[in-house]
Structure 1
Amino acid sequence: MTTLSAIEWTDMTWSPIIGCTRVTSGCDRCYAIRTAHIRSHHPSPKMATAFAGTTHTVDGRLDWTGRVNVVESRLLDPLRKTKPQKVFVNSQSDLFHDQVPDEVIARILAVMALTPRHTYQVLTKRHGRMRALLNSADFRLLCEEAEARLVADEATPGLSRYEREQHRTKWWSSFAKPLPNLWLGVSVEDQKTADMRIPALLATPAAVRWISAEPLLGPIDLYGPLVPGRGRPKLTYWLTGRPGWGPEKTDDRGRVFQELTVDPRLDWVVAGGESGPGARPAHPDWFRTLRDQCAQSDVPFLFKQWGQWGPEAPVDRDGRLVRGPRGEGMTIANDGTLYAPGDLDYPDGPRYGEAVRAGHSRARLTQVYSVGKKAAGRELDGRTHDEYPAPRAATSWTENSR
């Protein structure tokens, strides 16, 4: 089933796989767990079966069971959609989860190959398996076989006789490079997960590489660690591409030379705060850093949302500050430490000394307010950011970044 989506950066979702497991802190308040639990009790037997067994309650906490369901009836849905769409793949799972068979991933990629009119947006936290599969000649063969079966099956919807003949004869040449309509991305929530997942993404063949920094739970520096007094001794080149020398070539006069090359870089950055029950706030400077670094590197940036917590104090019609559970503000430090009202009052605040010892200067402390996703909105410093990438020439399956 493909459904229209309210997610700001896509048009619809396609979820042929249901179920997942938590891996890092970004999963702690996963909306998909709640959705899956509710839908597993849906009055429609078809819907309930798709989500059956994927969630349970452990020690009072709703969680994934680790079971992953492949919903066969949804696998061909994009073939039935004639209007070009941006399609978010597996909003209720992770395409590269270890319980998803290689053959199923190959079938999903084959559907993408057969529908070049759509743009597919994939996000994963399983960066290792993504890199391994998409650099594997054996996996490419699985994809080729999966598409050949779809083309040969007269029951496959949405394919004319001409298209079937074209794919029968041109499959390998069309898939010898990454799918031009696949935007491959990783989810990152802080510097630790960015350091793990972004290098793997850049080492994976893709026409468009992107990150979703949502929920953003800590600062992320895409340029490399900033060391006081030393600048950035270890540049990442994630936003610019690492420069280097290509293989030796010989011109028509027999002279040997090397061309300057640039390794893959990020093509798109999406960032947003956490929403929903128990949402954790983000420091506004975390978003500003990503925005500014993208602007300096000419990389498209999309600010999805503030989430539950925003930087603007809630006021009533008379302009008075609203008090209460939703209107009470919290102070957040740049490292994510939260302080309740009164914690930092000088000199008797119960956590004032802690903040001083941690080096949390007043200049890097800011107020955030629990006002709800809708009220917090999507404006960052007075404007929205809705930039999208333009696909580049796809690199070959075997080309990796250094």
Structure 2
Amino acid sequence: MSARSAIEWTDKTWSPVIGCTKVSPGCDGCYAIRTANVRTQHPNPKVAAAFAGTVHRTEHGLDWTGQVNLLAERLTEPLHWRTPLKVFVNSQSDLFHDQVPDEFIARVFAVMALTPRHTYQVLTKRHGRMRTLLNSPHFRALCETAEADLVADETTPGLSRYEREQYQTRWWSSFTEPLANLWLGVSVEDQKTADLRIPALLETRAAVRWISAEPLIGPIDLFGPLHPLGGRRKLTYWLTGRPGFGEPVKTATGLEMRPFVIGPRLDWVVAGGESGPGARPVHPDWLRTLRDQCAHTRVPFQFKQWGRWSPDAPLDREGRVVRGARGLGVTLANDGTVYAPGDLAYPDGPRYSEAIRAGHAKASLTQVYSRRKEAAGRELDGRTHDEYPAPRPAWSWAEVVR
């Protein structure tokens, strides 16, 4: 599907691949599984065929089958979109899934290279394959070949004669440097996945790097682990770039010098809570930490949604808390533990009030309430956060001719 998207940080979705496999706890409430299940029964046979065989029902509920459908007919869709758009690539899959051939991924990259007017937003949980492929000269060669084949094929729709002619007169490759119109990101849901995926992202060739901390089901510290006695034993430099010395260069007088350089960093952070059946609550402090760390380092931050759980209680017309509201009284600890009404035992044994009187403060506890996603909204501490990375200068066909 290539419809206008309801996702807050994008304009349109483009899904040339459908089907996936769960790889971490962040996948447990995957909305795409429910969407795929509905669309397998779509009255339009073309839509139903695209999703066929990708989901099945197990004893634990709906899940992916592991089958991945490659939809070659959708590859050229962005060539028809003349208005510049932010395009989320593969909202119904993972582009770097092991069932997607290198050659098919290269064709996706070729289309992105041929449409510099669009900004492409790619998210993956397969950080290892992403890093290996995008740093590989062999993969860049596959992309160059795929781009040339698209232009040379007179049946490729969406490319004007002028664009074909301008491509033929270029003297450089689109893939010598990372594509300027590609925002490459990883999904992270807690500190464990952040520690795995963010370093791999920073080691991958990309013009813009970002993370989607949604669903956020545990705290994430982007600055580095806190020492029990205070301070940080090891800084990550994820938001600032690691300082160091570059490759040695020789001056005109023959003196060898090593310039001071700043390493890659995150260019954008998106965060949000989980929605849908069985959604896990997000602690407001987890979001505040990400927001404050981004503000401190001037990294754009977007708060996408609270999801199903919000710290704001549902109110009636008189402004009173609705009696019997679902989830009323559920308490969430900073470690992700949920305490239901009547079961507020503190992790060390005493009840919560007794623990507080005893001076314990091992976890920040807050009340959260079950809400409709629309009612919970997108405000964090009274305001929305809709920041984006600064746009990179995009080349035009007229600028790249000899």
Quote how far apart the aligned CAs of 1:231 are: 1.1
| 1:26 equivalent in structure 2 | 26
8 Å CA contact 1:333, 1:360 repeated in 2? no
Report the CA distance between 1:162 and its aligned residue.
2.8
Contact between 2:219 and 2:334, CA under 8 Å: does it hold in 1?
A: yes
2:109 matches 1:131: no
Residue number in structure 2 paired with 1:304: 304
Q: Which amino acid aligns with 2:295?
A: A
Distance 1:354 1:206 in 2: 52
Matched to 1:64, the amino acid is W
1:57 partner SS: strand
CA contact (8 A) 2:334 2:363 kept: no
Deviation, 1:58, is 1.1
Against the structure 1 CA distance between its residues 350 and 41, is the aligned structure 2 distance closer, same or farther, given a 3 Å change threshold? farther
Uncovered stretches (5+) of structure 2, i.e. residues with no partner: 395-402
Match of 1:58 in 2: 58
Measure, in 2, the Cα distance between the counterparts of 1:350 and 1:19: 47
Task: Give 1:164's aligned residue.
Answer: 164
Are 2:311 and 2:367, in contact at CA under 8 Å, matched by a contact in 1?
yes
| Displacement of 1:256 | 2.1
Q: Could you tell me how far apart the structure 1 residues matched to 2:218 and 2:287 are?
A: 10
Give 1:400's aligned residue.
Answer: none
Residue number in structure 1 paired with 2:271: 271
Displacement of 1:26 in angstroms is: 0.4
In structure 1, the partner of 2:106 is 106
Structure 2 Cα separation of the partners of residues 35 and 312 of structure 1: 28
Partner of 1:198: 198
Alpha-carbon distance in structure 2 between the residues aligned to 1:360 and 1:280: 25
The answer to whether the 8 Å contact 1:344/1:355 transfers is no
The equivalences for 1:1-400 within 5 A come to: 1-170=1-170, 172-324=172-324, 326=326, 328-344=328-344, 352=352, 361=361, 364-391=364-391
Q: Find the aligned partners of 1:331 and 1:16 in 2 and give their Cα distance.
A: 42
Secondary structure, in 3 states, of the residue corresponding to 2:368?
Answer: strand
CA deviation after TM superposition for structure 1 residue 97, in Å = 0.2
TM-score by length of 2: 0.93
Dislocated runs of 4+, deviation >3 Å:
349-356, 391-394
Q: Distance in 2 between matches of 1:260 and 1:393?
A: 25
Alignment CA distance shift 1:171-1:121 (3 Å)? farther
State the alpha-carbon separation in 2 of the partners of residues 159 and 60 from structure 1.
Answer: 47
Within 2, Cα distance between the matches of 1:110 and 1:87? 15
User: 2:170 aligns to what SS in structure 1?
Assistant: helix
How far apart are 1:353 and its partner, in Å?
A: 9.8
Residues in 2 aligned to 1:75 and 1:287: alpha-carbon distance in whole angstroms? 36
SS at match of 1:212: strand
Structure 2: distance between partners of 1:354 and 1:212: 38
Tell me the distance in 1 between the aligned counterparts of 2:171 and 2:64: 38
Identity of aligned residues (%): 74
Give the superposed CA RMSD: 2.1
Q: Using the alignment, how far apart are the partners of 2:355 and 2:61 within structure 1?
A: 32
Q: Distance in 2 between matches of 1:147 and 1:160?
A: 15
Query: Which amino acid in the other structure matches residue 40 of structure 1?
Result: T
Structure 1 unmatched runs, 5+: 395-402
- Rounded to whole Å, the distance in 2 between the matches of 1:199 and 1:305 is 26
User: How far is the alpha carbon of 1:336 from its aligned partner?
Assistant: 0.8
Counterpart Cα distance in 2 of 1:354 and 1:118? 57
- Report the equivalent of 1:399: none
Aligned mates of 1:362, 1:202 — CA distance in 2: 33
Q: In structure 2, give the amino acid aligned to 1:238.
A: W
Alpha-carbon distance in 2 for matches of 1:147, 1:256: 41
Cα distance in 1 for partners of 2:209, 2:392 equals: 10
The answer to whether the 8 Å contact 1:314/1:327 transfers is no
Cα deviation per residue 1:284-325 (whole Å; 9 max; x = unaligned)?
Answer: 000000000000011000000011000111110012211335
Aligned length: 390
Tell me, in whole angstroms, the C-alpha distance in 1 between the residues paired with 2:263 and 2:337: 36
3-state DSSP of counterpart to 2:247? strand
SS of the equivalent of 1:163 reads: helix
CA 1:164–1:154 in 2, change beyond 3 Å: closer, same or farther? same
- Which amino acid is the alignment partner of residue 243 of structure 2? P
Shift in Å, 1:49: 0.4
**Could you tell me whether the CA contact under 8 Å between 2:18 and 2:54 is conserved in 1?**
yes
Separation in 1, partners of 2:119, 2:367: 39
CA distance in 1, matches of 2:211, 2:200: 12
Q: Tell me the distance in 2 between the aligned counterparts of 1:175 and 1:301.
A: 29
Q: Partner residue of 2:400? A: none
Change beyond 3 A, Cα 1:178–1:34: same
What is the deviation of 1:391?
Answer: 4.4
Amino acid at match of 1:102: D
Q: Work out whether residues 119 and 183 of structure 2, in 8 Å CA contact, stay in contact via their aligned partners in 1.
A: yes
Change (3 A) 1:87 1:310: same
Letter of the structure 2 residue corresponding to residue 342 of structure 1: G
Other structure's SS at 1:170 match: coil
Are the equivalent residues in 2 in contact too, given 1:19–1:64 (CA < 8 A)? yes
Q: Given that residues 144 and 174 in structure 2 are in contact (C-alpha distance below 8 angstroms), is that contact kept between their aligned partners in structure 1?
A: no
Could you tell me how far 1:171 is from its partner in structure 2?
7.2
SS in 2 for 1:302: strand
Offset of residue 326 of structure 1: 2.5
Shift of 1:354: 11
Q: CA deviation at 1:251?
A: 1.9
